[in-house]
Structure 1
Amino acid sequence: MFRGITGNVLILGIVSFLTDVSSEMIYPLLPLFLTTVLGGGPAFLGIIEGVAESTASFLKLFSGIVSDRVTNRQRLVFWGYTLSSVARPLMAVATASWAVLLIRFSDRIGKGIRTSPRDALIADSVDPSLRGKAFGFHRSMDHAGAVIGPLIATFLLAYVIKDLRTVFWLAAIPGLLAVLMIMLRVKDVPRTRKESDGRFLQAVPKGSLRTYLLILFLFTLGNSSDAFLLLKAGQLGVTPARIPLLWTFFHVIKMTSSMPFGALSDRIGRRGIILSGWGIYVLTYLGFALAVTELQVWLLFAFYGLFYGLTEGVEKALLMDIAPTNERGTAFGWYNFAIGAGALPASLLFGFVWQLAGAGAAFTLGASLAAVAALLMFFFIKTANPPVR
């Protein structure tokens, strides 16, 4: 079962679990903290998240390119996690909305620095024929943290403490444990370093890699924020008290499906698994366009969780099958940038269509863009079995 889960893959999976526990102890409480404690409004919350995620997307590209040109990726991973783990709990001392913006900005800088080098290090640490399983394991651990973090915060606030700031301080513990594990257990892997010629445009993907990333960008344009799914759930009768349960259920599906489908892609190929996931996405969005009951919402969230399990780790494994060996960090940088660049206009477009034409039209548009991307993937991305090192 754990064949291919090497030391680095295991430790980086645990690191992501601990980091997500820390992050998810804070993030779900952030809107409440900002609006009720600090007096900020929804508009400023939107500014905070927009600045934070845009920063992370750009830095993921930059750090990926840099990671191919430095001798030690582990240091980039270490400093990225360290910055986030130190900055995040400082929410406990924030006294104004601008301080929250600064802290989230610092947290996302750390995420931007670490993500692409970490994924490239995972790819370097495992046999190519087992990459799907390795990335699936990593995503499973990440989703497990997203399940446990909010549950810990809920338990603390319900039975132990009443102060949000104390929860934020306690969130430092798993984050700092993650940093300690990187420092003591994560090792860099010998590889061929790409020589730098000082020209950024030389890092722009070419050939099938560029085609794959453009198709992912198109798919992302149809993949709006999951907040819209929760909004639809609320309209169909899911009460505020049951929304956290629905969200936890969703993450459990993602957690339990990511590694099995990643391993399956190692045996039968990546493209078919991704296309299956995108097909489920299309059906799920069409389902949300037609849903009228709460039971349908729960079933659709289960299918939506399977979409993540089928695609998140497998998309990364396919990226590594296509990318040149000495440009893995760069490939992950462009991958993360393409998804980040598509996420903001996707949500703006979805919200605009919802407001003008209704939820059904918005979900149908998302499903249509995903269907077009799936057709392009089918016709233009031809992949053989994962290479053997």
Structure 2
Amino acid sequence: MKYLTRTVWILSFISLLTDVASEMLYPIMPIYLKSIGFSVLLIGILEGVAEATAGLSKGYFGKLSDYSGKRVPFVQLGYALSAFSKPIMAAFVYPAWIFLARTIDRLGKGIRTGARDALLSDEATPATKGRVFGFHRSMDTLGAVTGPALALLYLYFHPGQYRALFLVAFVPGLLAIGISFYLRDRKTGPKEKKAPVAFFSFLHYWKDSPVIYRKLVAGLLLFTLCNSSDVFLLLRVKQAGLNDTATIGVYIFYNLVYALSAFPLGILADRLGLKKIFALGLLLFALVYAGMTITAGLYWYGFLFFLYGLYAAATEGISKAWISNITDKTDTATAIGTYTGFQSICTMLASFVTGWIWFRLGAGIAFSVTATIAAIVLLYFLLVVPKPLTGDAKGISD
């Protein structure tokens, strides 16, 4: 597996450790915020501001990475900010400090995303993009399995000690920072640009990008508009009568399936075509949301979350591999940063709309609407979006 280079391994371990830190806190974050006086409305505003910060910064820092010709400093700074935000949230309980810490965490994600994915893309060929991004997603999501499991174990022995858990989560974050210093930039000069990079300059990339990029990203963003937060799936499971342990267990199971299948599906995408595996993922997504309209028990929801793990593995890394295959190498961070930036904003809108439909018309209608839109997006990808360049080591086209 020569395509799993030193840089790919380092980035994958950094992502794994960072996700362990983040996902240790994911199950207890709402509980902790409520315990220090946050209302549900304030939690919603906090998450909205945080996601907007991440979304807008991804495009800018992706553009800045391409402009400077450097990747590693953005990766190091981004992961460092996310790591140091954890103890800040434990040390200061005032709302303003919590907002600052959460914003720093998401800003870190915005700074590193485009540069990190560009580094991964630089380590692969068009014939190995699927497996390289798939391997990275597998390692990243393994952290999403380990983190909640460690949190459950910690709280079993130390119930209610939420602030201390933030300090525990700082440890894997520090390890990720240490490993990041082993990364090295390739020796490439900066792009020739006279004007400085303005904050919203990445928006111009949409106009200057290849037509195939605009068709692909338009479809991805349309899908994102119906792909609301996973919290709604967990709420549905909880609504059906499963207890807290079963609900968290289903979430861990989903991440385990995701982690174990992302790399194999990436390999399969390189062999069969990125578009085919991505379309399969969309089909699985539509089936899962259609299945969520049925009120059932643990085994049914376990099956749906198994399919949901396969969907995530077939789309998340594949979409970035696809984008990197259809854009110029010197614009990779800008292209991915622009997409992921808009994606963050669309995810916010999707969660708002899904929540509104659920509140007004019920969970069944909310999930039915999502499944229907996903099916329409699937048709768009099959009929409108061209196949990306892929193939074997000889560069045979898909």
Superposed pair shares fold, TM > 0.5: yes
State how far apart, in whole Å, the 2-side matches of 1:289 and 1:77 are. 41
Does 1:47 pair with 2:45?
Answer: yes
Q: Please say if residues 213 and 334 of structure 1, whose CA atoms lie closer than 8 Å, have aligned partners that are also in contact.
A: no
Does 1:317 pair with 2:330?
Answer: no
Cα deviation digits, residues 105-139 of structure 1 (max 9, x gap): 11111111011110011101223311111111111
Moved more, 72-81 or 157-166: 157-166
Corresponding residue number in structure 2 for 1:7: 6
State how far apart, in whole Å, the 2-side matches of 1:160 and 1:290 are. 37
State how far apart, in whole Å, the 1-side matches of 2:160 and 2:382 are. 53
| Matching of residues 1-389 of structure 1 within 5 Å | 2-36=1-35, 38-159=36-157, 163-183=161-181, 185-191=182-188, 193-196=190-193, 198=195, 200=201, 202-204=204-206, 205-386=209-390
Count matched residues: 386
Cα deviation digits, residues 130-188 of structure 1 (max 9, x gap): 111111111111111111112212222222575222221121111011011111x1111
The aligned amino acid for 2:59 is: L
State how far apart, in whole Å, the 1-side matches of 2:231 and 2:290 are. 17
State how far apart, in whole Å, the 1-side matches of 2:284 and 2:154 are. 37
Q: Secondary structure at the match of 1:329?
A: helix
Following superposition, the deviation at residue 315 of structure 1 comes to 0.9
State how far apart, in whole Å, the 1-side matches of 2:267 and 2:258 are. 15
Following superposition, the deviation at residue 384 of structure 1 comes to 4.8
Q: Percent identity?
A: 36
Q: Please say if residues 153 and 167 of structure 1, whose CA atoms lie closer than 8 Å, have aligned partners that are also in contact.
A: yes
State how far apart, in whole Å, the 1-side matches of 2:301 and 2:118 are. 36
Following superposition, the deviation at residue 385 of structure 1 comes to 4.2
CA separation of 1:46 and 1:162: change in aligned 2, threshold 3 A: closer
Q: Please say if residues 194 and 327 of structure 1, whose CA atoms lie closer than 8 Å, have aligned partners that are also in contact.
A: no
Q: Secondary structure at the match of 1:40?
A: coil
The aligned amino acid for 1:174 is: P
Q: Secondary structure at the match of 2:46?
A: helix
Moved more, 376-385 or 277-286: 376-385
CA separation of 1:195 and 1:369: change in aligned 2, threshold 3 A: farther
Q: Please say if residues 126 and 389 of structure 2, whose CA atoms lie closer than 8 Å, have aligned partners that are also in contact.
A: no
When the two structures are superposed, what TM-score results if normalisation uses the length of structure 2?
A: 0.93
State how far apart, in whole Å, the 1-side matches of 2:26 and 2:95 are. 15
Moved more, 113-122 or 193-202: 193-202
Q: Secondary structure at the match of 2:184?
A: coil
State how far apart, in whole Å, the 1-side matches of 2:367 and 2:220 are. 18
Cα deviation digits, residues 292-349 of structure 1 (max 9, x gap): 3332111111111110011111111111111112110111111202311211111111
State how far apart, in whole Å, the 2-side matches of 1:267 and 1:318 are. 14
Structure 1 unaligned runs (5+)? none
State how far apart, in whole Å, the 2-side matches of 1:357 and 1:202 are. 39
Q: Please say if residues 13 and 139 of structure 2, whose CA atoms lie closer than 8 Å, have aligned partners that are also in contact.
A: yes
How large is the RMSD of aligned CA atoms in angstroms?
1.7
The aligned amino acid for 1:100 is: I
State how far apart, in whole Å, the 2-side matches of 1:153 and 1:384 are. 41
The aligned amino acid for 1:57 is: G
Q: Please say if residues 221 and 342 of structure 1, whose CA atoms lie closer than 8 Å, have aligned partners that are also in contact.
A: yes
Q: Please say if residues 220 and 339 of structure 1, whose CA atoms lie closer than 8 Å, have aligned partners that are also in contact.
A: yes
State how far apart, in whole Å, the 2-side matches of 1:73 and 1:22 are. 23
